[in-house]
Structure 1
Amino acid sequence: MIPPLQSLVKYDNAVLVSSTKEKKVKDKLLKSCDFNYLLVYVMQSGGLLPGEQKSEVPQTEDILNSILPPREWTEDSQLWVQYVSSTPATRLDVITLQEKLDQQLQQRQARETGICPVREELYAQCFDELIREVTINCAERGLLLLRVRDEMHMTIAAYQTLYESSIAFGMRKALQTEQGKGDMEGRIGTLEAETKDFERQVAEWKLKCEAIEKREAERREADAKKHKEEVAFLENHAKQLKQQLETFFAPKK
């Protein structure tokens, strides 16, 4: 395990864990100092809990280690532990913290707006450092800030879960839309093919109608011409017959 990265939380110098027994004792103490335990203790103003000896009452270091667990890493097959610092913060430390925060935001190119994991991480470290500083001066205020921090984390986790669910829902809807789009495209292709076939049939019938109209026009023209010729023939024949009758019935001289 590689050494932890630089943090805005102030830690003591790393110490080498000389034995497994020492680590187990520390772990047992840290596990016993959960939030409810510490809250009851500090609200009792130094009173002992039932069944406890005075030596077992958690000190400021124990409260800090429960709020901000120590960092552990292995280097050259040796276990190193770094506990959070219990040194009270001065005004200069707060100013330095602000400068470090601004510097880290700039160096790591954190976005000023929108979702940014880098900015979220740095502000979380800054808030943890503020909790450390407040806890050293007043454990009650430190534990209240711890509740605020945990509530904030739960709220962010809830929003993240909601966001991920919304993304999954959106993806499902997008897939359904794509599937429906494919079906509609297939339907559109079928309708376009049918439309082209109908247009072809319409063009064919239009040509047939034009041919029929042309033939009918030619037939009517031929019939009209024939009828005109017959009328002219009959008129000429009638005229000849009339002349013959007039000649036949004319008085003889």
Structure 2
Amino acid sequence: MSTIPPTSSLVRYDNPVLVTRNTDKRTPKAKALKSSSPTPMDTSMPLSPSSNKKLQPLDSKNLQQTDEILNSILPPREWTEVNQLWVQHVSSTPATRLDVINLQEQLDMRLQQRQARETGICPVRRELFSQCFDELIRQVTISCSERGLLLLRVRDEIRMTIAAYQTLYESSVAFGMRKALMAEQGKADMEKRVNELERDKRDLEKQVNEWKAKCEQIEKRNAEQRAAEEKKHAEDISFYKKTNQQLKAQLEGIIAPKK
């Protein structure tokens, strides 16, 4: 129950009724709410000039049944104002052709006033057309309650379908956001991994260069050592050859006189 008067609607309501009740705590056996005489207040939708004309009297039983059906389709609006409870029931006055024309004009005017979008998803346009459909259901229910209840099923089915599409859209958006966040997080992880691999690559290249330099130094040192050893070996061979020749000459000199 609202604490402020409801906003105007395309659905036609009767004059609000002031309801008196006990503000203390009530038990389940408390008496039903009592209403005072209707207070003069404008209805949510302006009445057409044809509403002043005399209408054909309806059977009291059928009228009561129609009121019950209307209240079940479009529940009464309730709100509190200055610690007073107000109730406004939907109107059971039959509609004329002029009322339908007036409803169309009111719909176009409010679409323009509230700057509803003509295409795409627009909550304002959806709300106004929903109110217009409720008013049409009210008008049809008064003349034929069965047709009104069938239109009620159509309305509820449409609302359920829209709610399903809205839930699907919200879940799709949430799924897309989760996937985007996962992709962004995965991208950050991959970039971090790439940086680590590049750093490892630089370290390994540095190690390779160091090992190459060490290998070159070892090869140079081994080449110098081998050249030194070869030179020393050549000197030793030359020394031994020279020594051998000297010893051979001495030996020949010793042997020659004996002959």
**1:44-55 alignment, distance < 5 Å:** none
Amino acid at match of 1:6: S
Other-structure match for 1:173: 179
Other-structure match for 1:17: 19
How far apart in 2 are the matches of 1:65 and 1:128?
12
How far apart in 2 are the matches of 1:205 and 1:100?
90
Equivalent of residue 160 in structure 1, options 166, 175, 181: 166
Equivalent of residue 102 in structure 2, options 71, 96, 103: 96
How far apart in 1 are the matches of 2:108 and 2:71?
27
How far apart in 1 are the matches of 2:15 and 2:169?
40
Contact 2:76 2:88 in 1 (8 A): yes
How far apart in 2 are the matches of 1:56 and 1:94?
23
Q: Is 1:62 equivalent to 2:64 in the alignment?
A: no
Q: Is 1:83 equivalent to 2:89 in the alignment?
A: yes
List runs of 5+ in structure 1 lacking aligned partners: 26-53, 210-214, 216-253
How far apart in 2 are the matches of 1:57 and 1:89?
15
**1:120-199 alignment, distance < 5 Å:** 120-197=126-203
List runs of 5+ in structure 2 lacking aligned partners: 23-30, 36-59, 221-259
Cα distance, 1:97 vs. partner?
A: 1.0
Q: Secondary structure at the match of 2:20?
A: coil
Seq. identity, %: 73
Q: 1:24 to 1:60 in 2, by over 3 A?
A: same
- TM (normalized to structure 1)? 0.64
Q: Deviations over 1:181-204 (max 9, x none)?
A: 111010121233244446667888
Contact 2:20 2:34 in 1 (8 A): no
Amino acid at match of 1:133: Q
Q: Secondary structure at the match of 2:86?
A: strand
Contact 2:137 2:151 in 1 (8 A): yes
How far apart in 2 are the matches of 1:180 and 1:24?
66
Q: Is 1:7 equivalent to 2:9 in the alignment?
A: yes
Q: Deviations over 1:137-167 (max 9, x none)?
A: 1101100000001111111111112122212
Other-structure match for 2:111: 105
Contact 2:19 2:34 in 1 (8 A): no
**Could you say which structure has the higher helix fraction?**
1
How far apart in 2 are the matches of 1:69 and 1:192?
70
Other-structure match for 1:45: none
Amino acid at match of 1:96: N
Amino acid at match of 2:179: K
Amino acid at match of 2:142: I
Q: For this pair of structures, how many residues does the alignment match?
A: 188
